């Protein structure tokens, strides 16, 4: 079984490097930190590289151990978490020169770039995969590991909201509560703490939000200039796309955010019901989950908007 192979590789590896995707969210960070703490419990000394670490996750146990650079040239084993594609893996330069890669993920769009791939697209979060995996490995989920895992689950289920959430998700959370984990505190820190910058971006994006196609499409945007003016930090744009999705009648919510290059926009799309925005983003070179996907598109705001609306109109 794959899990046995994974455990064997971990046991045999002298040195292990844990990596995750760019613009890391709570699931990327939570799963990386949880894996690091878990491996330490069985006597390993793994390293974790995350180069852009949103301040709101600094409260998570073990975040002080995260580094910007690896200490070695190459590794016996790389464990990649929550990352569908090698192109998005931060620290991918180590992949070629290291011996083995284990790819643990829950994205249906995962391209299976690992030597061992453990991909479960039904799991609501990469962190939820770790619950079963650590159980199988007989590594107890203590309060610290549990807190990291919960942060990932809360992030990727929108706070127990998405339809991907399982009975196991709720049972696991009940168990953590009984162990003394402050679930409410983690929830608020992960999902409810708006930095001032996030609030100001929210204010601007809500002001600009347009309802298109008889209210079936919501569209809004944030520019580089906005982010500069409100002193935005990494991650301050997170959650903005959700506002459009929550409006009654909206089937697809689109949020675009200017990249460092003048004429490129990072697209975030969310859908309600059966509309697959991953398919739409795929056409623009992106991907994701059926109800939550993204892409990168060249053009001005108006050009990008037009390209996207044209495609989305076909499905709403």
Binding range to a copy of itself, per CB under 8 A, among 18-26, 68-76, 156-164, 278-286: 156-164
Nearest distance, CB of residue 228 and a copy of itself, angstroms = 19
The count of other CB atoms within 10 Å of the CB of residue 42 is: 12
Selected binder of a copy of itself within 42, 68, 215, 285 (CB under 8 A): 215
The Cα–Cα gap between 306 and 181 comes to: 47
Nearer to a copy of itself, 202 or 277 (CB): 202
234 binds a copy of itself (CB under 8 A): no
Closest CA to 31 of 154, 184, 164: 154
Tell whether residue 58 is a contact of a copy of itself (CB under 8 A). Answer: no
Residue 59 as a binder of a copy of itself (CB under 8 A): the answer is no
Out of 11, 140, 206, 210, name the contact with a copy of itself by CB under 8 A: 206
User: What residues numbered 248-267 form the site for a copy of itself, per CB under 8 A?
Assistant: 248-249
Whether residue 252 contacts residue 312, with contact meaning beta carbons closer than 8 Å, is answered with yes
41 or 182, CB closer to a copy of itself? Answer: 182
Q: Which residue pairs, CB below 8 angstroms and at least 24 apart, start in 260-267? A: 260/224, 262/224, 263/298, 263/299, 263/300, 264/296, 264/297, 264/298, 264/299, 265/221, 265/296, 265/297, 265/299, 265/301, 265/304, 266/294, 266/295, 266/296, 267/294, 267/295, 267/296, 267/297, 267/304, 267/308
Sign of CA dihedral 184, 133, 163, 107: positive
Residue in 203, 210, 300, 303 binding a copy of itself, rule: CB under 8 A: 203
- Please tell me the distance from the alpha carbon of residue 241 to that of residue 211, in angstroms, as a whole number: 13
Residue 182 sits in the site that holds a copy of itself (CB under 8 A) = yes
Report the candidate in 61, 6, 245, 31 with the shortest Cα–Cα distance to residue 124.
31
Region of 64-72, 140-148, 209-217, 259-267 interacting with a copy of itself (CB under 8 A) = 209-217
Q: Which is nearer to a copy of itself, 59 or 282 (CB)?
A: 59
Residues near a copy of itself (CB under 8 A), total: 44
User: Residues 202, 240, 241, 267: which binds a copy of itself (CB under 8 A)?
Assistant: 202
Binding site for a copy of itself (CB under 8 A): 159-171, 173-175, 177-178, 182-185, 187-188, 191-196, 199, 202-203, 206-207, 209, 211, 215, 245-249, 272
């Amino acid at each position: 079984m794959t899990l046995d192979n994974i455990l064997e590789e971990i046991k045999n590896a002298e040195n292990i490097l844990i990596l995750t995707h760019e613009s890391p969210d709570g699931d990327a960070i939570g799963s990386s930190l949880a894996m690091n703490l878990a491996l330490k419990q069985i006597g390993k000394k793994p390293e974790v590289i995350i180069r852009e670490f949103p301040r709101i996750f600094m409260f998570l146990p073990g975040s002080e151990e995260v580094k910007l650079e690896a200490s070695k040239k190459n590794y016996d084993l790389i464990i990649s978490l929550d990352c569908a594609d090698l192109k998005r893996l931060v620290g991918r330069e180590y992949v070629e020169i290291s011996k083995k890669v284990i790819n643990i993920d829950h994205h249906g769009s995962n391209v299976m770039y690992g030597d061992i791939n453990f991909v479960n697209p039904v799991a609501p979060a990469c962190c939820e995969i770790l619950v079963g995996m650590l159980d199988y490995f007989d590594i107890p989920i203590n309060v610290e590991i549990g807190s990291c895992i919960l942060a990932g689950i809360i992030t990727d289920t929108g706070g127990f909201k998405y339809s991907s959430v399982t009975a196991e998700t709720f049972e696991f959370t009940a168990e953590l509560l009984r162990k003394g984990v402050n679930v409410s505190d983690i929830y608020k820190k992960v999902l409810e703490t708006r930095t001032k910058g996030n609030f100001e971006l929210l204010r601007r994006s809500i002001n600009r939000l347009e309802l298109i196609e008889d209210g079936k499409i919501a569209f809004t945007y944030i520019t580089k200039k906005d982010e500069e003016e409100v002193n935005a930090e990494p991650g301050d744009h997170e959650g903005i796309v959700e506002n459009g999705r929550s409006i009654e009648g909206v089937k697809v919510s689109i949020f675009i955010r200017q990249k460092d290059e003048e004429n490129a926009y990072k697209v975030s799309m969310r859908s309600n019901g059966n509309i697959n925005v991953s398919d739409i983003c795929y056409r623009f070179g992106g991907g994701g989950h059926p109800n939550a996907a993204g892409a990168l598109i060249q053009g001005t705001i108006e050009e990008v908007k037009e390209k996207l609306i044209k495609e989305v109109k076909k499905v709403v």
